[in-house]
Structure 1
């Protein structure tokens, strides 16, 4: 059924997979809470889903089309070797580390965030981005991918976030989501975004934030992301977005510039 949906309505196919991910994540969180250990069920469920998707997409010859490949070497310099992503990820350490976490807690955080980082990049910057780009072009794909990624975080209201915390998280996620989509447009790869996403989430989970410091950090992250996004748009004008190979290596429609 999902294969037919992908062929007929690729955007809704991407949305369907995002819904599957949300259900799996929340089931994992619920079971983990029952077991009394955060992430204990979420981690294996997300890693199994990741492995299943990779194997399925590999069999279909769709991994490269969805950006699961190394970035083009010629784009490393225009992308500033992704150093702004490292700055954004490590900024959270300025508030210190949460010393209440023990080794098993940290290992579970790492396992969960590997699954979250890979799946969210594959779904938002792979499935959804490519589906929109094929029909509406790169500009629309960047905007839709970034906005959808950010607004999707509204689901965290069900996890006890306050309205202000939720708003801040959405704004940060939109800014970061747009940057990651621009990097896919420039490099043709989601892998730098996956690495950043994993590190960003791990650091955020083990850092010892506070209300005021979190707001300051969020403002700095948005500022750095905005500056990087403006820079990447300029680079895309000089380095056209690469044409993504279609399934089984067949070329897709040429991408347009941002």
Structure 2
């Protein structure tokens, strides 16, 4: 008698379609939330919050029911080799650079609102882009996974133009987001841990909300740091290739 092999999941058979569906679902959710906010004339801070609340709940249920927490990098920070923590120093440098802009006067309620919102965004975007999407595309290749997940992450930020942002600032943010996506994708390939990425994403966005208006000099400094980090991690991975863990279907 022969043992029947386990049927491959949809994501294993169609990784490109899986990623496309995930991206389209997020974009449609953001558009729907934006349309609702425009019709109801709600503050522009609300569209992403309205969209991300159900997405957060859906991800928490999915990861728990399917037992995918560890598969997407939700593991103890102690699993990161001591020598590999040095690769997070550029992220710390970015946070310090953003803090140099100074901070606005914020009420206690505003700070709590921003903390909750930015933590939710950090969790959702890292779980989607450096978790589900990147891990699905690893079935193609590491390069395809890193580049495609980063491009999709940047493309999603085009939606910020709907908030009244001018074209130049949107283009700058797309480049910024693309480099952030590349740097964070390379780090999870290197260390297989999503927690430092969520923490950085959360703190980065929180500082942006609480801080003074962005100035191009600070943004260009961050972009330079990100480029240096990407080159550094790529060079290290080429020297000592890391084999990503084998993933089962999503």
Relative to the length of structure 1, the TM-score reads 0.81
Query: Structure 2: any 5+ residue segments left out of the alignment?
Result: 1-7
Seen in structure 2, the aligned counterparts of structure 1 residues 89 and 27 have a Cα distance that, compared at 3 Å, is farther
Judge which range, 11-20 or 139-148, deviates more: 11-20
1:79-131 per-position Cα deviation (integer Å, ceiling 9, x unaligned): 416222122123222111122x3222221111111111111111111111112
Computed over aligned residues only, the root mean square deviation of the Cα atoms, in angstroms, reads 2.7
1:6 shift after superposition: 3.0
State which of 126, 130, 137 in structure 2 corresponds to 1:132: 137
1:204 aligns with 2:208: yes
CA 1:206–1:31: 2 relative to 1, 3 Å: farther
Instruction: Name which of 110, 116, 119 aligns with 1:114.
Output: 119
How many angstroms does 1:26 deviate by? 5.0
Cα deviation, 1:196-244, whole Å, max 9, x if unaligned, reads 111101101111125xxx2111110011111111111122234432432
1:179 Cα deviation from its structure 2 partner = 0.4
Deviations 1:125-164 (A, max 9, x none): 11111121111x1122111122221232111111111011
Aligned to 2:19: 14
Residues 166-181 of structure 1 mapped to structure 2, 5 A cutoff: 166-181=170-185
Deviates more, 1:234-243 or 1:112-121: 234-243
Aligned partner of 2:151 among 147, 154, 178:
147
In the alignment, the residues of structure 2 paired with residue 93 and residue 145 of structure 1 have an alpha-carbon distance, to the nearest angstrom, of: 28
SS in 2 for 1:240: coil
**Equivalent of 1:89 in 62, 85, 95:** 95
- Equivalences, count: 241
Question: How do 1:156-195 and structure 2 match up within 5 A?
Answer: 156-195=160-199
Partner of 1:219: 220
Residue 245 of structure 2 corresponds to which residue in structure 1? 244
Please identify, of 17-26 and 106-115, the stretch whose mean Cα deviation from structure 2 is larger: 17-26
Q: Residues 77 and 30 of structure 1: is their aligned pair in 2 closer, same or farther, counting only changes over 3 Å?
A: farther
* CA distance, structure 2, for counterparts of residue 145 and residue 199 of structure 1: 21
C-alpha distance in 2 between matches for 1:152 and 1:39: 16
In the TM superposition, structure 1's runs of 4+ consecutive aligned residues that sit over 6 Å from their partners are none
Instruction: Give 1:183 shift.
Output: 0.4
Give the SS at the match of 1:208: coil
The answer to whether the 8 A contact 2:98-2:218 is kept is: yes
CA drift of 1:178 comes to: 0.5
- Aligned pair in 2 of structure 1 residues 44, 161: CA closer, same or farther (>3 Å)? closer
Of 75-84 and 38-47, the range deviating more from structure 2: 38-47
